[in-house]
C-alpha cells in the first residue's frame, strides 16, 4: 500500500502544495512504497515562522519544565521503539535488530538531555572586585535546524533535537528524503509528550529545502551529518550567512592489527564493524591495516569464511544479518568501486557483486566483499565506499601503519588491536583522529561524551551531543554586577581592573 509523508509544521501534518515530490522505495524489494514532498522556500519559511513564534515562550520556560517534556518523550520512545525501528527497516533496509540498536543509541542522548537543568548551570564568582560579582549563563540561540542522513533516520536526529530543544531553542528537522517516515513518527511522539506547537518541526525535501534553511536569516545554527562535499558546502555557505554550523562529513576508518592481537576477537570485530548495516555507517571500519605479512595472511584466512557465512536478506527476516543498500543508484556505485579495485590490482578474496536472492531479485543487495593487497594509491583506499567492502592493507611496521592513518584525508574514527598497553597508549595519544578505539572497532562515544571527527570528517568547532552539544546550541553570557553601597570611587577613565 502506497503512502504519503507530509511535512510537520506547528504541531500538525502539513500537506505540501509545491507539486514537487520524490518516491520512497523498499530497498528489500525495489518496489515504490510511498511519496515524500519536496518543500520550496515558502514552505521552509512557514516552518521558520512557526518556530520563531514559539521560541520566546519556550526560551522562557524553566529548564526543569522543558526537561519534563523530554523525559515524557523518552518514555514514549521506549514504549514505541519497535514500531520506530520497523519504519527504519522498511525504508532504509537495515535488519531489524540493527534498527533497534540505532534507536537505542539515540534514546541514550534523549536520556542525557533529560538532565538539561544541570547542564545549563553557569559559573559564579563573588568579589571579583570590591563589591563586584561576576557570573555566566548559557542561553538558547533561537531557531536552529538539523539536516540528517539516510543511514540513521532516527538516531542522528535524536543526537541533535533533544539537546537543542532542552536548551530552549526551537528546531526544524530536514531528514533524508530517502527514508523520511521516522522523522514524522518522532514528531508525533514529541507532540504527545507535551512539546508546544512550533517547537519541533519537520520539513522534507532536496537541495531547495537545504539552501532555504541555509539562507534564511531567522535560523541561528545548523547541525549536519552526511558526506564531506555536502558538509563542506553547508559549513561554507552557512557560516557566510552568519550562522553557527557543525557539519560532520565522511570517513575512511582504519583498524590497525598488531602482531600480538587476539586474532579471533579481531576478525569477529571486523566482520561486525565492516558489514553491519551493509557498511552504510560513517563509523564502519573499511580498512584493516595488518602489521606484517604474517598478520595479514592469518587475518585473511580467518576473515574469509566468516564473511562468506554472513546471511544477507530482507531486514524484516529475523535470520538476516545484513540487509540491502539504500538505493539502486548506490548499489551500482558500490559495484563500480569493487570493479575499480580489481582494475587497480587489488586481490578480491570475497566477491559480493553477483548476489541474487530468490523472491527479492529487484532488491538492492550487494554481498559482503573482501579485498587483500590494497595500496594507498587505489580509489578503494582513498574514497569512502559506504558499502559492505573491507580492504586489507599491509604495513611493514607500526610506524608505517600509523602514518597511513594520519596521512589519510579523513579523520573520523580509528582503532588498534593489541595486548600491548604501551603501544595502545602511544597510538591513542598521537594518532590524528577524532575518535579512537582500543580493541573496540566502532568507538562511538556514549551520549554524555561527544561525537565528532577531525580533518575532512568535521567542519566546525563543536562536536555532537554530550557537553559539546550543549555548547553548540547555546551562547555564553557573562554578567558583572555591582550594587550601590554608599561608597563612591569617583570617575576613572582607565581600563577597568578588578583591584
Residues with active-site annotation: 282
Tell whether the torsion through CA atoms of 16, 17, 20 and 21 is positive or negative.
positive
> At how many degrees (to 10) do helices 81-92 and 181-192 cross?
160
Question: How far is Cα 340 from Cα 423, in angstroms, rounded to an integer?
Answer: 35
- Give the strands of the sheet with 124-129, arranged side by side: 124-129, 132-140, 474-482
The 3-state DSSP class for residue 154 equals coil
Residue position matching grid coordinates 554530550:
466
Per residue, the 3-state secondary structure of 367-419, as one string, reads: CCEEEEEECCCCHHHHCCCCCCEEEEEEECCHHHHHHHHHHCCEECEEEEECC
Closest of 282, 320, 258, 267 to residue 451, by C-alpha: 282
Question: How far is Cα 54 from Cα 478, in angstroms, rounded to an integer?
Answer: 26
Question: How far is Cα 137 from Cα 477, in angstroms, rounded to an integer?
Answer: 5
As a whole number of Å, the end-to-end CA separation of the chain is 75
DSSP codes joined into one string, 87-101: HHHHHH---HHHHHH
Question: How far is Cα 25 from Cα 179, in angstroms, rounded to an integer?
Answer: 8
Tell whether the torsion through CA atoms of 211, 214, 217 and 219 is positive or negative.
positive
Question: How far is Cα 26 from Cα 315, in angstroms, rounded to an integer?
Answer: 10
CA distances from 393 to 260, 296, 370 (A): 17, 8, 11
Question: How far is Cα 100 from Cα 94, in angstroms, rounded to an integer?
Answer: 10
Question: How far is Cα 345 from Cα 172, in angstroms, rounded to an integer?
Answer: 47
The 3-state DSSP class for residue 135 equals strand
CA distances from 68 to 117, 118, 370 (A): 10, 13, 48
Closest of 114, 119, 110 to residue 66, by C-alpha: 114
Instruction: Determine contact, residues 104/444, Cβ cutoff 8 Å.
Output: no
> At how many degrees (to 10) do helices 63-79 and 181-192 cross?
120
Question: How far is Cα 136 from Cα 419, in angstroms, rounded to an integer?
Answer: 46
Amino acid at each position: 500500500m502506497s503512502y504519503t509523508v507530509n511535512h510537520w509544521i506547528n504541531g500538525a501534518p502539513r500537506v505540501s502544495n509545491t507539486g514537487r515530490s520524490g518516491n520512497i522505495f523498499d530497498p528489500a524489494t525495489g518496489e515504490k512504497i510511498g511519496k515524500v514532498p519536496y518543500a520550496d522556500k515558502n514552505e521552509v519559511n512557514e516552518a521558520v515562522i512557526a518556530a520563531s513564534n514559539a521560541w520566546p515562550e519556550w526560551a522562557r520556560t524553566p529548564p526543569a519544565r522543558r526537561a519534563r517534556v523530554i523525559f515524557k518523550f523518552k518514555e514514549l520512545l521506549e514504549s514505541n521503539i519497535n514500531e520506530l525501528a520497523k519504519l527504519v527497516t522498511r525504508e532504509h533496509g537495515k535488519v531489524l535488530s540493527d534498527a533497534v540498536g540505532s534507536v537505542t543509541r539515540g534514546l541514550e542522548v534523549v536520556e542525557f538531555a533529560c538532565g538539561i537543568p544541570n547542564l545549563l548551570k553557569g559559573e559564579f564568582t563573588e568579589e571579583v572586585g570590591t563589591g563586584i560579582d561576576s557570573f555566566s549563563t548559557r542561553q538558547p540561540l533561537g531557531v536552529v535546524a538539523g539536516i540528517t542522513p539516510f543511514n540513521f533516520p532516527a538516531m542522528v536526529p535524536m543526537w541533535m533535537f533533544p539537546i537543542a530543544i532542552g536548551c530552549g531553542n526551537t528546531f526544524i528537522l530536514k531528514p533524508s528524503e530517502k527514508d523520511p517516515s521516522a522523522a514524522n513518527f518522532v514528531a508525533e511522539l514529541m507532540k504527545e509528550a507535551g512539546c508546544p506547537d512550533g517547537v519541533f518541526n519537520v520539513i522534507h525535501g532536496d537541495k531547495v529545502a537545504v539552501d532555504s534553511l541555509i539562507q534564511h536569516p531567522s535560523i541561528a545554527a545548523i547541525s549536519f551529518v552526511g558526506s564531506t562535499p555536502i558538509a563542506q558546502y553547508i559549513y561554507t555557505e552557512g557560516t557566510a550567512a552568519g550562522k553557527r554550523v557543525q557539519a560532520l562529513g565522511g570517513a575512511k576508518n582504519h583498524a590497525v592489527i598488531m602482531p600480538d592481537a587476539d586474532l579471533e576477537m579481531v576478525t569477529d570485530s571486523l566482520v561486525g564493524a565492516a558489514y553491519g548495516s551493509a557498511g552504510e555507517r560513517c563509523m564502519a571500519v573499511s580498512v584493516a591495516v595488518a602489521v606484517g605479512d604474517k598478520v595479514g595472511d592469518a587475518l585473511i584466512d580467518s576473515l574469509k569464511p566468516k564473511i562468506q557465512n554472513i546471511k544477507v536478506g530482507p531486514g524484516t527476516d529475523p535470520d538476516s544479518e545484513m540487509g540491502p543498500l539504500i538505493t539502486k543508484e548506490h548499489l551500482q556505485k558500490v559495484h563500480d568501486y569493487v570493479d575499480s579495485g580489481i582494475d587497480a590490482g587489488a586481490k578480491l578474496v570475497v566477491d559480493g557483486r553477483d548476489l541474487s536472492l530468490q523472491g527479492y531479485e529487484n532488491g538492492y543487495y550487494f554481498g559482503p566483499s573482501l579485498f587483500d593487497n590494497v595500496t594507498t594509491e587505489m580509489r578503494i583506499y582513498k574514497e569512502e565506499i559506504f558499502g559492505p567492502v573491507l580492504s586489507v592493507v599491509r604495513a611493514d611496521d607500526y610506524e608505517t601503519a600509523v602514518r597511513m592513518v594520519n596521512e589519510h584525508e579523513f579523520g573520523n574514527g580509528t582503532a588498534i588491536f593489541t595486548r600491548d598497553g604501551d603501544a595502545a597508549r602511544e597510538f591513542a595519544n598521537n594518532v590524528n583522529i577524532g575518535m579512537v578505539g582500543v580493541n573496540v572497532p566502532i568507538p562511538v562515544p556514549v551520549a554524555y561524551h561527544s561525537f565528532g571527527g577531525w580533518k575532512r570528517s568535521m567542519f566546525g568547532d563543536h562536536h555532537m551531543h554530550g557537553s559539546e552539544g550543549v555548547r553548540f546550541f547555546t551562547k555564553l553570557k557573562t554578567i558583572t554586577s555591582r550594587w550601590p553601597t554608599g561608597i563612591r570611587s569617583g570617575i576613572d577613565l582607565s581600563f577597568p581592573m578588578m583591584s
